[in-house]
Amino acid sequence: MDRFGKMFVRDNRISKATINDYYGEEIPGHEKLGLQKKRLYRLLRAPEELEQSTASFRGIPVLLGHPENNNTRPLADLAVGAVMNDVRYEHPYLVASIVVWDAGAQAGIETDIQRELSPSYKYTADMTPGEFEGENYDGVMRDIHAYHLAIVPDGRTGLDILVNDAKPEGLPMSEEKDTSAQDDVLAGLKERLPNASDEQLRSVSEFMAERAAKANDEEQDKKADDEEDKNEKADDQEDDKKANDARPLTANDAAIIARQATEQGRKAAWTDFMALRQAERDCASLIGEVACDSAEDVYRLALAQEGIDTQGVHPSALPKMVEVLKSRPSQPATVAMDAHSVNRVDSFFGGQ
């Protein structure tokens, strides 16, 4: 950490030459390629393609999660950090240092709640099948060009890509997974469908796994809801106590995330955390940095400071009210800024 509160992290593995599963609808040009939207395809990030992409990763913004597809805000408004210029390929990884200046993102990293890195990039899908390190693949990612790097709670590439390629909900983790159950299913299908190809059997097996995962998620969500109702009073009392503690923003963020980060409540905790970060960014120009437990609290505080009564207003209307408030004309402030270009990574880490 430097004296201005920026976190610098050297030598992060930000991507990997490996094979990952992608739904057909995720693959660019899937319609022209004749791919099935809901079928899983195994795509290879080839070592030579990843190595050739290193220059495009230099200086890209680091975001807290991937923006929605219909997001029209500039990436600069969403950035919580940046990739530095020491990007290089060290087989099988793409490695780089990063700087993170957002307190909420730093809290997530420090508490291990979200610290995996997920690159967003454009590529051309070459659906020529082959084999890489003993594994079959359906196609290769060509002409990779980086767009941004996101900090996510659960990455696609695996647990070795930390602070990695975010996976859609429903896809299994690619690291340290037990494949014995899937192997048993494939063996059973082979007995019952002796004339089916290996690809057809794998497709059926993956479909069954997806349905099982969905059913398990629904059961876990129900258990989480029951547990939440049971402990609602206790949680409210704990929240009230914590709200009275005058702690710095980073510590407050860490406490909120750590309290909510159970296996069953992880999805809800991430959603609430992202909403809180968004509210803080939306209201920063009105109230500066504040320590609140929810996005709703931040919006109401900003509006109250401007003399706007929000009693009885539904929380969903608060962001729009703040947007309208910020759009009012104001007198421009006079500021002084010194521009300085830094080209070497070592200067960020105290080098000369």
What is the average per-residue pLDDT within 149-158? Answer: 70
What tens digit of pLDDT does each residue of 85-125 get? 999 999 999 999 999 998 878 877 776 665 678 888 999 99
- CA–CA gap between residue 74 and residue 54 (Å, rounded): 23
So what's the pLDDT on residue 224?
66
What tens digit of pLDDT does each residue of 11-38 get? 999 999 999 999 999 999 999 999 999 9
Residue 194 has pLDDT above 70, yes or no: no
Residue 157 has pLDDT above 60, yes or no: no
Residue 135: both structure tokens together: 């594994």
So what's the pLDDT on residue 184?
62
Residue 282: both structure tokens together: 């939306």
- CA–CA gap between residue 131 and residue 134 (Å, rounded): 6
Q: Could you tell me the CA-to-CA distances from 54 to 145, 147, 238 in Å, in that order?
A: 9, 12, 47
- CA–CA gap between residue 253 and residue 237 (Å, rounded): 18
Using alpha carbons only, give the angle 68, 16, 348 rounded to the nearest 5 degrees.
Answer: 80
**pLDDT band of 56, cuts 50, 70, 90:** very high
So what's the pLDDT on residue 219?
66
Instruction: Name the pTM for this structure.
Output: 0.52
The gap from C-alpha 319 to its chain's centroid, in whole angstroms, comes to: 22
CA proximity to 91, closest of 7, 13, 204:
13
